[in-house]
Amino acid sequence: MSAMDEVFKALADASRRSLLDRLHAENGQTLNELCEGLEMTRQAVTKHLAILEDANLITTIRHGREKLHYLNPLPIHQIGERWIRKFERSKLAALSELKRQLEKRDE
Amino acid sequence: MSAMDEVFKALADASRRSLLDRLHAENGQTLNELCEGLEMTRQAVTKHLAILEDANLITTIRHGREKLHYLNPLPIHQIGERWIRKFERSKLAALSELKRQLEKRDE
DNA sequence: ATAATAGGCAACCAAATGGTTGCATGTCAA
DNA sequence: TTGACATGCAACCATTTGGTTGCCTATTAT
């Protein structure tokens, strides 16, 4: 699986995006902190975090018996640069072409 | 399911992203055109296109017995604006904080 | 030392996903 | 008008996914 594919797959789940949001609000949280207030078991959160780590979206550091989770914003940035920008460049062109076609169908 | 969630889910599959790429290269293709060269059946492509259409990533127009597919770049743009930008703003801050922590663990 | 705390591992489960095949329908061309 | 072409629909299938429970290990605090 390509690196970018892993990132897209990791971002596809709302729970995982919300975990990234929480780390964005406060970086360096432990597993237990990240579990607080969530409607799923610790093990479910562990799995989500593992997927995010595999996709390189977070980095972890063991500190005694705690595991601290840190956001890595680089892959998200790359999705923006390498993938989304490509489609934005042609945005206006695509919309105007669609409009032309929509009008054309009544011929 | 929220609109943005649907977009993220739709983008999670490499085949679907490749379909968007093909439409980006040449907009307004028919189903059969989009099937050419792909290693899956027409029905599989139909399903992918339906998911992309539900997520509002493409718009279709029936033209006789053909169905033309057009890219809608707006949702992709919104992912960039509403989601990715948020993380980019704190990019440098997050990286420097991680660095600090990495150094701190040897204390 | 030992109890409490933080996390890890593995088996299991239901539902969603990505794909198939077979057949039906609608439209165009000879 | 009839055959070929473009697409649609539905049932079915294997695998992946997101979650659970139960138990184990490692670290800290009393």
pLDDT digits (tens, 9 = 90+) for A58-91: 999 999 999 999 999 999 999 999 999 998 876 6
User: What is the distance between the alpha carbons of residues A59 and A43, in angstroms, rounded to a whole number?
Assistant: 18
pLDDT at A51: 98
CB half-sphere exposure, B91, CA atoms < 13 A: 13
Q: Which residues pair with A73 in a beta bridge?
A: none
Interface test with A, best of B7, B59, B98 (most A CBs within 10 A): B98
Buried b (16+ CB within 10 A) or exposed e, B12-49: bbeebbebbebbbeebbbeeeebbeeeeeeeeebeebb
Q: Report, in ranges, which bases of strand D sit under 7 Å from a protein C-beta.
A: 5-11, 17-22, 26-28
Q: How long is the CA A100 to C1' D16 vector, in angstroms?
A: 42
**Average pLDDT in the A32-45 region?**
97
pLDDT at A92: 60
What is the CATH T-level fold of the domain B3-104, as seen in this structure? Arc Repressor Mutant, subunit A (1.10.10)
Q: Which two tokens stand for residue A35?
A: 């579990």
Residue type, B79: I
User: Which residues have CB under 7 A from strand C?
Assistant: A 30-32, 42-43, 46, 65-67; B 9, 12-13, 15, 39-41, 43-44, 47-48, 51, 64-65
User: What is the distance between the alpha carbons of residues A61 and B40, in angstroms, rounded to a whole number?
Assistant: 43
Q: How many CB atoms lie within 10 A of CB B7?
A: 22
Measured in angstroms, the CA of B65 and the nearest CA of chain A are apart by 13
pLDDT at B61: 94
Q: How long is the CA B41 to C1' D2 vector, in angstroms?
A: 28
